[in-house]
Amino acid sequence: MTATLIWILAVLVAVGLYLSWTAGRLDRLHARIDAARAALDAQLLRRASVAQELATSGVLDPAASIVLYEAAHAARQAEEELREVAESELSQALRAVFADAQQVDALREAPGGEAAADELAEAVRRVPMARRFHNDAVGAARRLREHRKVRWFRLAGHAPFPLAFEMDDESPAALVERAA
């Protein structure tokens, strides 16, 4: 009788430890998503700021300046649910403005243009990077949260179900082509 009780107790303790370990894993994943999301926000903001700075610098022609300013402004001001669309539109605007290598060359020749072009190239290169790391973390958390043990024992608590950040983040080829 006592032996059975001890066995039941041992199993319960083991299950408890396993669940606590899984909850810890999930907690760490949520922390990783938060950090990745903060990094993504920082990179997106940086890209929009550099684009806006370029648009107001007078280096670009007026039409390009307006297109770029509009898109960068919209991306910075976008509300959370419209953010992905606004950021995608900024990517499209950047691709349209820097469609050909001549525009990039003209930018580099302007005073201070070299540094601005490098900064923009750096920013547009890091956005896809940060987004991939974020979505990778989201995918890992989702896979774990869909598991039975997590759903049955509600190990995720009140944390919202993580969502991937989907956007068009293709860089303007002429800008990141560093062999040039």
Residues near another protein (CB under 8 A): 17, 24-25, 28-29, 32, 35-36, 38-39, 42-43, 122, 125-126, 128-130, 132-133, 135-137, 139-140, 143-144, 178-179
Least Å distance, CB 61 to another protein, is: 30
Instruction: Rank residues 82 and 101 by Cβ distance to another protein and give the closer one.
Output: 101
Instruction: Rank residues 73 and 126 by Cβ distance to another protein and give the closer one.
Output: 126
Instruction: Rank residues 105 and 143 by Cβ distance to another protein and give the closer one.
Output: 143
Give the separation between CA 84 and CA 94, rounded to whole angstroms: 15
Instruction: Rank residues 82 and 161 by Cβ distance to another protein and give the closer one.
Output: 161
Instruction: Rank residues 43 and 91 by Cβ distance to another protein and give the closer one.
Output: 43
